[in-house]
Amino acid sequence: MKARRRGRLLAVAAVALVTSAHVGSPDTYFEGRAGPYPVRVIVRTPGVIPGLAQITVRLLAPPAAPRVLVVPVFWDPKTAAPPPPDIAKRVPGDSTLYSASLWLMRYGAYSVQVKVESPDGDGTTLVPINAIATRRLGLPTPLAILLGALGALLFAGAVTLVAAAVRESVLEPGAVPDGRRRRMARIAGGAGALLLALALLGGRAWWNAVDAQFRTGLFRPLHATTSVASVDRQSVLRLTIDDPAWTDPRRHPAPLVPDHGHLMHLFLVRDSGMAAFAHLHPTPTAPTTFETALPPLPPGTYRVYADIVFESGFSQTLVSSVGLAQPAALWHASDADDSWLTTGPSPEASGDTVSLADGSTMIWERHKEVLVVDREAPLRFLVRAPDGTRAALEPYMGMAGHLMLARDDGAVFVHLHPAGTISLAAEQTFVLRQPGDTIPGALSKRFNAEHESHGLDPAFPATTSFPYAFPLPGHYRLWVQVKRGGRILTGAFDVTVQPRSG
């Protein structure tokens, strides 16, 4: 049992090596407004840099005679003006859907600028993405055989040309080469073959060096370790970022900026059955350490996911694991937004309706629709008060709700908002950046001042939805969090996602 559990946790770590923000879900989903026009944008990153990202834009309320433009914008304020926009083409058979391909040329934080033009007016929005290399493309065997055969033909042809040039290039037309010229031709052909072989060896060494450099440049999230300590009769969870990219002052990344008011969003998911969950907000106690009071979760091994956002707009999910013993006698939440939930091994028996802690109910309005990989999922949830009326929701960290989902083996973990998978802090860094933001910390100071000046909406409607498509088939658990009556409420749902047919 322990070996199997350890294997699952190692699988989580392996998946995290090929993702950025979130785990096992590299595509970006956004739903918001481009000026007056509501849009849904999906960005499928190429996994290699340079590479082509595939962009789809759906106009949820199409204006008259629309035209959709997209352009990649790199985060660095020293970079020259972005390239001219590409015109997204309408997808045949769907008058509201547009698609385009964009080159991402540099490693780091990008945003895709989406502009909707219409005689009624124009609107623009920014969708932050991470441009990272997560994989190395292989060479298909049939193509390798074909290229090898063509290369051998070119090699033989080059050697033949050298020998023929030495043997016959200075002879009169029709003259027959003597024995001396034939010997010189053989020597020249051998020398040419040797030089070509040395050139091929040099090219191979150069290519291997380039390939090794690319391999070392594959994205890896910062390494972190998690431990538990007892402080004043409370259990304290301590996450330490011990990666050299963070601890070495010469390589330290850009400063962090708060996302929804917190520098870190940390999630605990019990490895066995996902029957316990916590959403916490550690605070930094040292340059490499974040700490938070640990709620009375049941003992067991937990997967740890920690979301952070850098000043550049680059977002990342740190992955770790921790073993919890018996809960401490006391728990005082470190932050008013901290929450936790324990459930049975499978809440699926309750169907699409679950009871919340205050007596209200949460209903998943999917109408028994089957969820399929890469198909837009109906993640729409309604909250009803104990008397059955539709319940108004209060802002929970500035929005109507949060949704966390995880596959049972840890291969996928995602933190969703009504705006999608994007980090709102990353979006704001692109909006606020200026040409003078070349000194680390300059943008984050202005960001923090801007963040403190923003108020919160007083209330949200009873229904909230999240744009997303599941990346892998399998069994998932969803935790949907809303706020009502000053209390954070969490509903848990189970679902099985089917593979794509064909």
Residues 207 and 235 in one domain: no
Q: Tell whether 341 is covered by a domain.
A: yes
> At 423, phi and psi to the nearest 5?
-85, 125
Q: Tell whether 15 is covered by a domain.
A: no
Residues 321 and 355 in one domain: yes
Helix (H) or strand (E) holding 452: helix 442-453
Alpha carbon distance 338, 66 (integer Å)? 44
Per-residue pLDDT at 172:
81
Q: Tell whether 8 is covered by a domain.
A: no
Estimate the crossing angle of helix 442-453 against helix 424-432, to 10 degrees: 110
Residues 210 and 271 in one domain: no
Alpha carbon distance 473, 308 (integer Å)? 27
Per-residue pLDDT at 77:
63
Residues 460 and 368 in one domain: yes
The CATH number that applies at residue 32 is 2.60.40.10
The β-bridge partners of 475 are: 496
Residues 235 and 90 in one domain: no
Q: Tell whether 21 is covered by a domain.
A: no
Residues 380 and 479 in one domain: yes
Q: Tell whether 354 is covered by a domain.
A: yes
Residues 228 and 212 in one domain: no
| Boundaries of domain holding 458 | 224-497
Alpha carbon distance 158, 401 (integer Å)? 68
Residues 440 and 455 in one domain: yes
Q: Which of 360, 402, 406, 400 is nearest to 383 (CA)?
A: 360
Alpha carbon distance 496, 484 (integer Å)? 29
Alpha carbon distance 421, 502 (integer Å)? 27
Per-residue pLDDT at 14:
39
Residues 290 and 234 in one domain: yes
Residues 63 and 159 in one domain: no
Per-residue pLDDT at 170:
81
Q: Tell whether 7 is covered by a domain.
A: no
CB 130 within 8 A of CB 75: no
Residues 363 and 485 in one domain: yes
3-state secondary structure at position 126: strand
Q: What is the pLDDT along the chain (502 residues), one digit of tens a residue?
A: 444 444 444 343 333 334 456 888 889 999 999 999 999 999 998 888 888 999 999 999 999 889 999 998 887 766 656 788 999 999 999 999 999 999 988 888 888 999 999 998 999 999 999 888 888 878 889 999 999 999 999 999 999 998 888 888 888 887 888 888 888 888 988 998 999 999 999 999 998 898 888 887 788 888 999 999 888 778 899 999 998 888 877 666 678 889 988 999 999 999 888 999 999 999 999 888 999 999 999 999 999 999 999 888 889 999 999 999 888 777 888 899 999 999 866 544 457 899 999 999 999 998 888 999 999 999 999 999 999 999 989 999 988 999 999 999 999 999 999 999 998 888 888 888 877 676 777 777 777 776 654 444 556 888 899 999 999 999 999 999 999 999 999 999 999 999 988 5
CB 492 within 8 A of CB 407: no
Residues 399 and 313 in one domain: yes
Amino acid residing at 131: A
DSSP per-residue letters across 58-79: EESS--SS-EEEEEEEES-TTS
Q: Tell whether 380 is covered by a domain.
A: yes
Q: Tell whether 394 is covered by a domain.
A: yes
Q: Which of 302, 223, 293, 306 is nearest to 259 (CA)?
A: 306
Number of domains in the chain: 3
